[in-house]
Structure 1
Amino acid sequence: MSRFNVRKVAVLGAGVMGAQIAAHLINLRVPVLLFDLATPEKAVERLKKIRPAPLGLASDADLIQSANYDQHLPLLQECDLIIEAIGERMDWKSELYRRIAPHVGAHVILASNTSGLSITALSQELPEVLRERFCGIHFFNPPRYMSLVELIPTAATAATILDDLETFVTTSLGKRVVRALDTPNFVANRVGVAGMLFTLIEADKFGLTCDVVDDLTGRKLGRASSATYRTADVVGLDTLAHVVRTLQDQLPKDSFHAAYAIPAVVSRLIEAGALGAKSGAGFYKKVGRDILRLDPNTLDYVSSSGKAAPEVTALLKLPPAERLAALRASTHPEAQFLWAIYRDTFHYCAVHLAQIAQSARDIDFAMRWGFGWQEGPFETWQRAGWQTIAKWIAEDIAAGRALSREALPAWVMDGRTGVHTPAGSWSTATQSYLAPSALPVYRRQIFPETVVAGPGQQPSTAGTTVFENDFVRAWTLEGEFLIVTIKTKMRTFNTGALKGLGQAVTLAESGFRGLVIWGSGEPFSAGGDLNGFLTIYAREGLDGFGAEQKMFQDVMQQLRFSQVPTVAAVKGYALGGGCEAFLHCDRRVAHFETNVGLVEVNVGLLPGAGGLT
């Protein structure tokens, strides 16, 4: 079996995306050549100042090898992967492809990091011999932190090229891949930007200010904290307008075309030079320590203090079926707004599934990984009761309340209970349920990503439970190693968690080859349970607190001097007592985005569980 080895990558273009893609490659110790019209030293230096930091260590910028197109094109022969990331203009890319083509080796994969241009059209600018090794690769900004990468093949792209590139992006870069169809804005931006437009339309319809909308459509809705208007500011209103214009120009017959209009307020802000965060003002503006919001009628900035109504916030805490029913039945404008954006997104995804994605799973993954949603639109719809929601959407379409008059596709109303099953996820192209990818990179994952009702085991129930209580689960996959998962909030160590960890070490010594402290997701541990410690102190005084501290120290010593190897598998925060558990294990396997520290020293406290030993 042949293996695609990436010994060096060339990134063409040292703009915002190109330079940060190069930075992420260097983070993961993939050698990289960064090309630009002139040598890109200034772009490399800027990487040290960008926030959030694209580099793990600012000094790693010096590892990026700078190059220019006049002197260094022969160096492309040394590369196994070339990522083109210049400006979004077909004529610029065409000229660049003409220049690099003679220097692209016979084994090299060539990929364009475009967010909207047709990959098929781009491929036509290449010599025919390169077309089977060409595809789109769409990183999300900022590349270090956004987990989604979309891969977009053309009809000519060899299947092995996509498989090799997906394996590299997943294994070496730590990204999550969705294979997209070559349609405008691909998957995540197609649904996400359309959803953003729908939100702005419905907010205007219900008379809601941007701060209230952001309070409603952020964490409370299970989405990114930047919500809607803040996301637009971060992306840049000019960039948003460019993406929207792609929808306008390339989808003239789309039944949602009327919604693909750049909102008047966005156009007015762009004309005024208020492009969002990069210009210092957009929908929001920071003045001193205050964050002001835009008054869309006057374009003045006023106090930003709007919050969601408590009664509507309460509805968002309900399970999906009860939540959507309550929002739809409510007469409160904020609740009606929320039902409208749910409805519009469900309607849009159902109508466009066949055009933009291989299966419903791809849309749900794209929105989770690319836009920070806790669950995708189809997952929410399915959990809320598929046919009930479909009936309500159909009623709104008939009543003219929806943003399009196009009926839901027939498959939606065929009596199904959803689009995700243990067999796979619904594909309108094949009229069947597609199983997840069977690439070796996924087959070796114990817990590959899955969707609601999809195939695969859940970490909370996987394997054989050795013992479990409210604080800890000790379990094993194959009987050789004991795995300990802390179940408390933020995986903090309280009395129960400490006793459970100590019990697990004892069991591992008597019947297993080793012990691993691991839990899915983040954090590893935020440390000691401070509220619990305060309760003990209030109830039992210093003696009780001292006894709790001694227990913490004793368990850490158990880890340190265990008769079997102990391993901390870490992602996210390992702070305070979490750091001490991390330090007392024999080995540590840490994700790149791990933050470790004895934070208590910042307030003059000494680590109490052995952090100084």
Structure 2
Amino acid sequence: MSTHPSSSDQPAMSVSVRKVAVLGAGVMGAQIAAHCVNAGVPVLLYDLPAKDGDKSGIARQAIARLQKLKPAPLAAPDLAVRITPANYDEHLDLLADCDLVIEAIAERLDWKRDLYEKIVPALGSHVILASNTSGLSITELSKVLPAGLRPRFCGVHFFNPPRYMHLVELIPTAETESGLLDQLETFLVSALGKGVVRARDTPNFVGNRIGVFGILAADIEARKHGLSYEVVDELTGKRLGRAKSGTYRTADVVGLDTLAHVIETLQTGLPDDPFKSSFAMPAALKKLLEKEALGQKAGAGFYRKEGKAILRWDNGAGKYVPADGQIDPDVAEILAQRDPGARLKALRESDKPQARYVWALLRDTFHYAAVHLAQIANSARDVDLAMRWGFGHEQGPFEIWQAAGWRQVAGWIADDIEAGEALSSQPLPEWVTKGPVPETGGVHTPKGSWNPRLGRFEPRSTLPVYTRQIVPVRLAGELNRSSTMVSAAGGRVVLENDAIRLWTLPAPHPTDVLVVSFKTKMHTISPEVTRSLLQALDLAESNFRGLVIWQDSHPFSAGADLKSMVAAYKEGGPDAIEPEERRLQELTQRLRYARVPTVAALAGLALGGGCELAIHCASRVAHLETYIGLVEVGAGLVPGAGGMAYSARRAAEQQALCAPGAPLLLFLQKFAEAIAGAKVAGSAREAVTLGYLRDDDPIVMNEHELLYVAVRQAHMLAEAGWRAPVPAPFPVAGRDGIATLTAQLVNMREGGYISDHDFLLGRHVAEILCGGDVDPGTLVDEAWILALERKAFLALPAVEATQARIASLMTTGKPLRN
């Protein structure tokens, strides 16, 4: 979230982004276009005219590639049709209808300026022109623009890949109209779902300035301490609260040519930087660039895969060698310590090279960030959020420093500078050791984050869009230690136990809607959660007007608590788990037929029982990155909390909406395939296709707006006179449907696509979805299908192959396809 004040002396310019043009159909340009259409904004994608055939062929090919890339830039493959291919020879006139034009061509100042001169005459008078540059001067780019366009020009730096990376840096020039920036930030935050940091127009801005320095420091310190790439990646990955890929694997993913470009920008743009000696291009990187080993996109970089073996580049030997380095167990133990201060102290005082390496890397980053904070950002918040959102760090450098004890760590850094161990002799800024920051204990406080230019703690942005973020990202030190998620939102707890928290929001939010959040690990549905949710429904129906299921962290729910189910089954067999199975079914039916609207606020994984809770609610509000599915087959089971009752009923409802004569099996097939194959939707939009979300379920782009929208959805349904659906019988496919689905399973088994156990599970799925051994078209109710679910669910734990699948999930977290 930006830390800038939201108001200006000038009136805000009216911005309504209805159509976007992206100039440049390379990797970034095409993926920015993809994310715009993910948000429902149509896009023109431009590139140079092709020399032969269709002049828009380059852009057309880029759009086709979007449908094949992994991870998928498009939330659903069919969204590609919303991107229109274009070229500069034939389609410049179409720019007049675009509200936002994003230039995303190669990082060459002269090329970008030439393109601006070409397109300027075609732009509408209302347009916003933005450059997606990773570090070039926005002011220098603007100099070629006419005076009337400069107030509507800025930098807008998406991080790669644009769909998944939350950070966008917004970089104004001195002439950029501030009200326009407010509205562009609003569009980026709410419409595209991004976390915006406003950066100063300095080389590489905020994220790359700190992040790429960190990569260079990691390499320098690795060579000092004699560590290999794979050891560095292990030390700088999840153990350090960063992306699993660590340092060198991340560089391979980003692209070594891109990394080299950003390093060159540091070298040329910062000749007087006190850390300039650290900006030298690493020798190994130079060699890899010469070999055109550009990382993942080229099949080789710092690492190369040969079969199942992972090799790393050995620059001294000039070849790839096995990546077999190991982390020191003693260092792993230090990194596992929970107390931040004790952890940093142990790393600094250890005689282990790996421990000393981690301390040195953190120290270098703290030092660099403190020295440059005033130059690159408005406050320490921007630096920490940029590293969280752009580089996948759990905490930014200032957060880690503050959590470990501000004065203590500052003293250690100063000692290392004096001893010549730091990468620069530049002393720490005075604000680090004197005044409000050390007196308060760090740069982040409940009042705001430190702005060294103004010498004060800068409050968060008051842009109206941020009122939609009821529980925004909070940095270490921003909240009092006693604060909880509910108190941070200003909420009131209605009921709390070990399983759930039931609470309401304060005015001006609807106060008559209950919010329930789980307290279990992975938000699993334990017996205690089930009983508590039934109690929550009782309270909602008696004293409130709606109920929202929302979690304060990922996932929405990993499903039923397998551990407790297995323990109960071992103790008493099917009879021991049958009451809980009935109670889960009762819960999902209560959610569907409640006297008040129920809404599931979905983000992240919603698997198995979590999916069943969601699909039975009156409505769902889903973040784009929602991955929902009935995956019980992976545990050797079948959905047992109404998932197949829902699917059978929905198939019948969909058939009823079509022309007479449409076979029921046509609509049942997709549910059968999804359940038997344990399919998980790759986005909320794909979940609509699978049938787990409905066409009228809202999809939000910014996860931090999920609670705001979900509570209002429940309130709106209540205000509109919500009435629960009336239970009604529906037709099933019966024995004919079972026979058809079974024949398909036989073919798959004979072809080697599924195992014997998969066949057994698939047969159960077919029998339940088709209503059992009844005539086609027989009318049944949900209780009929629920009984079939229970019978299969209670029988399967006795099967040896199911026991093996459950054991694999509980020990390794991975499904066993036996």
Length-normalised TM-score, structure 1:
0.98
The one-letter amino acid paired with 1:467 is: L
- Partner Cα distance (1:13, 1:113) in 2: 10
1:468 correspondence with 2:485: no
The one-letter amino acid paired with 2:620 is: R
- Partner Cα distance (1:448, 1:487) in 2: 19
Q: Is the 8 A contact 1:320 1:384 kept in 2?
A: yes
1:509 correspondence with 2:541: yes
Per the alignment, residue 302 of structure 2 pairs with 283
Residue 88 (structure 2) aligned to one of 59, 66, 69:
69
Per the alignment, residue 450 of structure 2 pairs with 426
SS of the aligned residue for 1:128 comes to coil
| Stretches of 4+ aligned residues off by more than 6 angstroms | none
Per the alignment, residue 253 of structure 2 pairs with 234
The one-letter amino acid paired with 1:33 is: L
Quote the offset at 1:373 in angstroms. 0.5
1:308 correspondence with 2:327: yes
Quote the offset at 1:59 in angstroms. 2.0
Per the alignment, residue 36 of structure 1 pairs with 47
Map 1:392-471 to 2 at 5 A: 392-414=412-434, 415-416=438-439, 417-454=441-478, 458-461=484-487, 462=489, 463-471=491-499
Per the alignment, residue 29 of structure 2 pairs with 18
Quote the offset at 1:2 in angstroms. 6.4
Q: Is the 8 A contact 1:15 1:86 kept in 2?
A: yes
Q: Deviations over 1:187-217 (max 9, x none)?
A: 0000000001101111111111111111111
Quote the offset at 1:449 in angstroms. 2.7
Quote the offset at 1:5 in angstroms. 0.9
- Partner Cα distance (2:497, 2:329) in 1: 34
Q: Is the 8 A contact 2:171 2:200 kept in 1?
A: yes
Deviates more, 1:270-279 or 1:332-341: 270-279
CA RMSD of aligned residues (A): 1.4
**Which structure has the bigger radius of gyration?**
2
Map 1:473-488 to 2 at 5 A: 473-478=501-506, 479-488=511-520
SS of the aligned residue for 1:348 comes to helix
- Partner Cα distance (1:420, 1:155) in 2: 28
- Partner Cα distance (1:495, 1:519) in 2: 18
Aligned residue pairs, count: 613
- Partner Cα distance (1:307, 1:446) in 2: 43
Per the alignment, residue 354 of structure 1 pairs with 374
Per the alignment, residue 591 of structure 1 pairs with 623
Q: Is the 8 A contact 1:424 1:455 kept in 2?
A: no
Q: Deviations over 1:535-576 (max 9, x none)?
A: 222223222122222222122122122111100000011110
Per the alignment, residue 81 of structure 1 pairs with 100
Per the alignment, residue 194 of structure 1 pairs with 213
- Partner Cα distance (1:330, 1:315) in 2: 9
Q: Deviations over 1:497-550 (max 9, x none)?
A: 112211111111111111000012321111111122112222232221222222
Q: Is the 8 A contact 2:46 2:86 kept in 1?
A: yes
Per the alignment, residue 336 of structure 1 pairs with 356
Q: Is the 8 A contact 1:423 1:455 kept in 2?
A: no
Q: Deviations over 1:88-137 (max 9, x none)?
A: 11111111111111111111111000111100000001111100110000
1:567 correspondence with 2:599: yes
SS of the aligned residue for 2:405 comes to helix
The one-letter amino acid paired with 2:216 is: L
- Partner Cα distance (1:308, 1:501) in 2: 44
SS of the aligned residue for 2:168 comes to strand
- Partner Cα distance (2:108, 2:215) in 1: 25
Deviates more, 1:321-330 or 1:601-610: 601-610
Residue 163 (structure 1) aligned to one of 158, 182, 196:
182
Q: Which has the higher contact order (CA 8 A, sep 6+)?
A: 2
- Partner Cα distance (1:310, 1:514) in 2: 51
The one-letter amino acid paired with 1:370 is: G
Per the alignment, residue 8 of structure 1 pairs with 19
Deviates more, 1:476-485 or 1:131-140: 476-485
Quote the offset at 1:242 in angstroms. 1.2
Query: For the structure 1 residues 329 and 94, does the alpha-carbon distance in structure 2 shift closer, same or farther, using more than 3 Å as the test?
Result: same
- Partner Cα distance (2:104, 2:153) in 1: 14
The one-letter amino acid paired with 1:507 is: L
Quote the offset at 1:472 in angstroms. 0.9
SS of the aligned residue for 1:519 comes to coil
- Partner Cα distance (2:197, 2:563) in 1: 42
- Partner Cα distance (2:562, 2:324) in 1: 31
The one-letter amino acid paired with 1:27 is: N
Q: Is the 8 A contact 2:402 2:477 kept in 1?
A: no
Quote the offset at 1:154 in angstroms. 0.3
Per the alignment, residue 136 of structure 1 pairs with 155
Where do 5+ consecutive residues of structure 1 fail to align? none
- Partner Cα distance (1:454, 1:162) in 2: 26
Query: For the structure 1 residues 391 and 301, does the alpha-carbon distance in structure 2 shift closer, same or farther, using more than 3 Å as the test?
Result: same
- Partner Cα distance (1:99, 1:274) in 2: 35
Q: Is the 8 A contact 2:486 2:492 kept in 1?
A: no
SS of the aligned residue for 1:292 comes to strand
Q: Is the 8 A contact 1:560 1:585 kept in 2?
A: yes
Q: Deviations over 1:328-383 (max 9, x none)?
A: 11111111111101100000000000111111000001000000011111011111
- Partner Cα distance (1:326, 1:146) in 2: 33
- Partner Cα distance (1:520, 1:3) in 2: 34
Where do 5+ consecutive residues of structure 2 fail to align? 1-11, 50-55, 646-818
Q: Deviations over 1:162-182 (max 9, x none)?
A: 101000001100001000000
Q: Deviations over 1:454-501 (max 9, x none)?
A: 269752544111121222111111441111101111111111211221
The one-letter amino acid paired with 1:9 is: V
Query: For the structure 1 residues 345 and 586, does the alpha-carbon distance in structure 2 shift closer, same or farther, using more than 3 Å as the test?
Result: same
- Partner Cα distance (2:486, 2:476) in 1: 15
SS of the aligned residue for 1:306 comes to coil
Q: Is the 8 A contact 2:486 2:493 kept in 1?
A: no
Deviates more, 1:374-383 or 1:519-528: 519-528
Q: Is the 8 A contact 2:169 2:199 kept in 1?
A: yes
- Partner Cα distance (1:310, 1:560) in 2: 51
- Partner Cα distance (1:184, 1:439) in 2: 27
Quote the offset at 1:604 in angstroms. 5.3
Q: Is the 8 A contact 1:351 1:409 kept in 2?
A: yes
The one-letter amino acid paired with 1:291 is: I
